[in-house]
Amino acid sequence: MPGTVFRRGDRLALRTVEHEDAEFIQRGHNHPDVGVTLGLNRPESETEAEANIEDDEGDPLNVGLLVCLEDGDDPTPIGKVRLSNLHHTRPEISYWILPEYQGEGYGTEAVGVLVDYAFNAHEIRGLQAQAFAPNEGSVGVLENLGFTHEGQLRDARFRNGEHVDVVWYGLLREEWEDD
């Protein structure tokens, strides 16, 4: 069961990750339409998912939150967002949404809530994110939120039997505040 609500959007909430969420995270990471887009190249066991949760618990430089639809008292986890390296001037955002919930704007809303949190709670200059160039959904999330394409690493990752480009996006504080 997802933990306490940390931030709310219009249709969803970002909740703390609890030990009981390891099975959900494992299921997401092992789904071919999620794990491949994250660059994961081997299956993740529930024990590994639990270890990752434990590693994040005491790390003040990273924030991982479950994306949940709020169905009354019974939240439904549909993905995860993460803010990494808060000690950098431009921490990195990453995210995934289960395929059955993609295309509904949940990723854009969840990442937008996380961006708001990042700029309102931390003295950072900007944010960065990366995606595989062929992942139109992930690129669309970033562009919809005002991130700017800042670079491309050619043939940077091996995915589904071929090398693909990785695109880098950035968003500066004043660009977010101007919107």
Structural domains for the chain: 5-126 (3.40.630.30)
pLDDT for 179: 63
Q: Percent of the chain at pLDDT above 70?
A: 95
Which residues is 20 bridged to in the sheet? none
pLDDT for 140: 96
Whole-angstrom Cα distance, residue 132 to residue 158? 10
More confident residue, 59 or 107: 107
Region 125-130 average pLDDT: 97
Tell me the average pLDDT of the chain. Answer: 91
- Range name among 25-29, 76-80, 137-141 with the lowest pLDDT average: 25-29
| pTM strictly above 0.95 | no
Query: DSSP letters of the chain?
Result: ----EEEE-SSEEEEE--GGGHHHHHHHHHSHHHHHHHT--S---HHHHHHHHHHHHT-TT-EEEEEEE--TTS-EEEEEEEEE-TTSSS-EEEEEE-GGGTTSSHHHHHHHHHHHHHHHHS--SEEEEEEETT-HHHHHHHHHTT-EEEEEEEEEEEETTEEEEEEEEEEEHHHHHH-
Region 67-83 average pLDDT: 91
| Closest alpha carbon to 49 in 78, 18, 77 | 18
Q: Percent of the chain at pLDDT above 90?
A: 68
The string of pLDDT tens digits covering residues 9-68 is 999 999 999 989 999 989 988 887 777 667 677 778 888 888 888 887 778 899 999 999
pLDDT for 37: 67
Whole-angstrom Cα distance, residue 133 to residue 154? 9
CB atoms within 10 A of CB 39: 14
